[in-house]
Amino acid sequence: MSYYLSPANFKGAYRGVPSKSITQRVLFLSTLLDEFVVYNPLWANDIKETITVLTKLGFEVTGKEDAFFIKKQRKIESAEISLLGSATTLRFVIPFAFLHLQKLTINLSENLQTRFNDIYGDIFQKNDISYQNKGNKIIISGSLKGGKYQIPETVSSQFISGLLLTLPFLKEDSELILPNKTPSFPYVNLTVELLEELGVIIEKKENSYLIKGQQKLQKNSFIVENDYSQAAYFFVLKELGENIIINNLKEDSFQGDKEVVKILTAISSAKKGDKPLLVDLYHYPDLAPILFVYTALSKKEIIFKGLNNLKHKESNRLQLMITNLRKVGQRLEYQEESLHFYPSILKGGIKVETANDHRLIMSLAVLASFLKEGLYFDSLEGVNKSYPNFFSDFTILGGKISVT
């Protein structure tokens, strides 16, 4: 089944959806108490994978949309899990599982085998941990202890967050030494702020975190705030002149992707004849696809840099976005991790390539709505990974989709 997204006008209130990043972090932390409630959680494929992992670790998770109720069922010594698409779950569970058991076997899908960019082997080698990465399977066993953990250069901040979610609850104190540069670092800040909101103390130094051991959560419930990265598509619709009202987003949020508001303002303020605006997306890779679309539609000369991490997402987002934008007539120059946009006349009517990547599908859906000839899609199911209701919200506000 394929789909055609045609030109549309949008009007109405966007109500927001819960944050996937926060939901996943809180779900892991919820297992540190006998009972815990997560209010306003996201319900999506990645969250289903996280919940499946928690059940394998000996916990019962009930509820669906308004709240998750997490309850300890049994103590286990070893478990075997299978992961299909959630790299976040994988990067979190490897250290975190040691808080609950002695041995964990993780079966990996082909997609995760190519995405993992493993650094835990080097980290655990200096501890009494048996760690085997066999490509399609990871086997870990032993007892994780506090101490000094040196993070090497990495393509994902999630390895740092995984350790931050684990180290405060070991018996010993720890020091987590950071690399000189880490992409998406605002997600690390989000992890720290979340821990502190639950009563866990993390001491930030210039290039490290000092973490006391034997800490306890001080709350047995948490309300998940709504997500800025998912709202970005609707912020772009509003910036393009559509009559969209955006509600239910926390203004003082620690989500890094709230930067989308400032970036859109900067791009919209760029004037013809000025020196091209330089936008660094090193810490905001999830915003890149929709910001590329906004730049193309607003016909601005913009240079984006810090894009290398886009190659390591659910797809090679950088290459696919370049391919699709060039197909619709966007003039681009790519060199040394920078992508230069020039004002161009766009024309649709093509079939886009998305690799079923949720952020590409949602971004290109916005693009299709402003092209006279629309765009064709092989599948729209990829949005189920992070935002199953995207096309429901999209069409309620005016988006047009037909089956071809």
Contact 104, 97 (CB under 8 A): yes
pLDDT number for residue 312: 80
Q: Cα–Cα distance between 206 and 62 in angstroms, integer?
A: 41
Scored b (16 or more CB within 10 A) or e, 316-329 reads ebbebbbebbebbe
The domain covering 3-16+226-403 belongs, at the CATH homologous superfamily level, to Enolpyruvate transferase domain (3.65.10.10)
Looking at 57-178, list the stretches that DSSP marks H as alpha helix, in order from N- to C-terminal side: 87-96, 110-115, 120-125, 158-164
Task: Exactly one of 46, 227, 257, 286 is catalytic; name it.
Answer: 286
Residue numbers of the chain with a pLDDT score lower than 70: none
Q: What is the pLDDT of residue 328?
A: 98
Q: Do domains 3-16+226-403 and 20-223 have the same CATH topology?
A: yes
Residue 286 annotated to the active site: yes
Residue 207: predicted pLDDT: 93
pLDDT in tens, 196-242: 999 999 999 999 999 999 999 999 999 999 999 999 999 999 999 99
Q: Give residue limits of the domains in the chain.
A: 3-16+226-403, 20-223
Which pLDDT does position 115 carry in this prediction?
A: 82
**Secondary structure element (H or E) that encloses residue 278, with its range:** strand 277-280
What's CA 127's distance to the chain center, in Å? 29
Residues 294-324 have pLDDT tens digits of 999 999 999 999 998 898 888 899 999 999 9
Q: Supply the pLDDT for residue 43.
A: 95
Specify the pLDDT at position 155.
Answer: 77
Which CATH number is 20-223 given? 3.65.10.10
**What is the predicted pLDDT for the residue at 336?**
81
Taking only the tens place, the pLDDT of each residue in 143-156 is: 999 999 999 888 79
